[in-house]
Structure 1
Amino acid sequence: MRKKIAKFSILPLAAGSIFFSFSTKDAAKLNLEDYSTYDLDLDYTVDDLRGELKPEFKFSHTSPVLGKSYVGFKEALAFKESGGDYKSINEYGYLGKYQFGVGTLNLVGIYDTINFLNSPALQEAAFYANASRNKWILQRDIKRFEGKTINGVKVTESGILAAAHLAGPGSVKKYLRSWGAQAFSDAFGTTIKNYMKRFGGYDVSFIETKKNARVDFESL
């Protein structure tokens, strides 16, 4: 049987260099140090364009910085809920990017869950409507408890709204008015205290305080 001998080729970067072709046996004898470019003056043919880049541009940025804005708030909450996946359905039947229950969707005027899962715009509108509704229900508690410390966590408006998304506004009222004595945890063991801490300090003034807020389908 004839032995198959692999061939290797080296194509140098610099123009005018020699093309090499050799077998695996020759490659084993090759001293790579003979081909080192260390301490050589190299003549590059590509211009250095780094000076033309805008000063604020950084290669390390892979996503926009959302900070403590409303968008930062909802995206941080979405990442915790579903990893930001609009198609997500968990084992308890919670749906979409923000993991809504069917009952909550009905409260903001959504009854078609298939359409809901297939419409990012509808999911974003549902999140806003639900947050607006929760803000109306909890407006007195926000005024009373914002800035206070309960169970070692500073209470903020965004923390309250995040907790309401997790547990519902009724459970948040009980938690606040009992000064943390009446606690809540979901099926995964996540607590109101955890959400109060994790999502505190965001600027959610963009969210309107509105009774019975519902999704405006005409605007989608």
Structure 2
Amino acid sequence: MIKKCFNYIAIPLAIIAALFTGFYSGSETDFSEYSTEGLDLHFTVSHDLAMLEHDIEVFNASESVLEHYMPYLGKTYVAFKEAVGFKESRGNYFSVNDFGYLGKYQFGAETLQLIGIYNPDAFLYSPELQERAFLANLQRNKWILRKDIKKYDGKVINNVKITESGILAAAHLAGAGSVQRFLRSQGDNNVSDAYGSSVAYYMKRFSGYDTSTIAPNKKARAML
């Protein structure tokens, strides 16, 4: 009886040992000949749903986590616009804040009209138009501030190094006139938006990006 029990136990143990040593022996297993071609594979989550869940998770993540996992873009124009968009709305094209500012870059209706956009609803639901609006507004502000950029770029005001990208970001926040008053008052005139972000803060946060490719344009318009 003991001998038979031993046989019944020993055989499964031998099989398990063989499997274990085959997969965990320490030597690398060669999977080059393995393939799933022809197999009827079943997934519990559709690809579209999986992508939606992923997007929701990314959108809900904290700023530090997003910055950690975002691809490194250096100081390019793309990095600049994405940084501004993330600060304004966490990159959400369909965001509307408590004061009615719209989209990824949080435009007001008056600013939109200056660059040729008169339908806020159409603007809100068109990411492409929002990107064009952001560029057009930068071009317009760069034309208005061209003399200030030339005069103050590289200088330090209230411990903030002034750069072209910082000036343009601050103009996006508070308007070109507010930036001129900040620079010409040596930082004494430092206005803030309703959430407490100031011209000086945007100057510092978005300094040093390469915005040289943005062409100054007094009549810049955003159109599809």
CA RMSD of aligned residues (A): 2.4
Q: Would the alpha carbon gap of residues 36 and 106 (structure 1) be closer, same or farther in structure 2, given more than 3 Å must change? A: same
Structure 1: 5+ residue stretches without partners = 1-15, 19-34, 48-60
**Identical aligned residues as a percent:** 57
Q: Partner letter of residue 137 of structure 1?
A: I
Give the alignment's TM-score, normalised by structure 2: 0.72
Q: Would the alpha carbon gap of residues 46 and 149 (structure 1) be closer, same or farther in structure 2, given more than 3 Å must change? A: same
Q: Which residue of 1 aligns with 2:29?
A: 44
Q: Which residue of 2 aligns with 1:82?
A: 89
User: For each residue in 1:172-212, what CA deviation from the matched residue of structure 2 results, as whole angstroms up to 9, or x when unmatched?
Assistant: 00000000011101101111111000000001011110112
Q: Would the alpha carbon gap of residues 194 and 42 (structure 1) be closer, same or farther in structure 2, given more than 3 Å must change? A: same
Alpha-carbon distance in 2 for matches of 1:77, 1:36: 55
Give 2:153's match in structure 1, choosing from 142, 146, 159.
Answer: 146
Q: Would the alpha carbon gap of residues 42 and 17 (structure 1) be closer, same or farther in structure 2, given more than 3 Å must change? A: farther
Q: Which residue of 2 aligns with 1:212?
A: 219
Alpha-carbon distance in 2 for matches of 1:114, 1:102: 10
Q: Partner letter of residue 46 of structure 1?
A: F
| Helix, strand or coil at the partner of 1:95 | coil
Give 1:182's match in structure 2, choosing from 183, 189, 193.
Answer: 189
Alpha-carbon distance in 1 for matches of 2:198, 2:119: 29
Give 1:134's match in structure 2, choosing from 138, 141, 149.
Answer: 141
Q: Partner letter of residue 29 of structure 2?
A: Y
| Helix, strand or coil at the partner of 2:86 | helix
Structure (1/2) with the larger helix percentage: 2
Alpha-carbon distance in 2 for matches of 1:174, 1:77: 22
Alpha-carbon distance in 2 for matches of 1:153, 1:87: 33
Alpha-carbon distance in 1 for matches of 2:221, 2:75: 25
| Aligned-residue offset at 1:17 | 4.1
Q: Would the alpha carbon gap of residues 106 and 17 (structure 1) be closer, same or farther in structure 2, given more than 3 Å must change? A: same
Give the alignment's TM-score, normalised by structure 1: 0.73
Alpha-carbon distance in 2 for matches of 1:41, 1:177: 70
User: Is the aligned partner of 1:191 residue 2:198?
Assistant: yes
| Aligned-residue offset at 1:42 | 5.4
Q: Would the alpha carbon gap of residues 46 and 111 (structure 1) be closer, same or farther in structure 2, given more than 3 Å must change? A: same
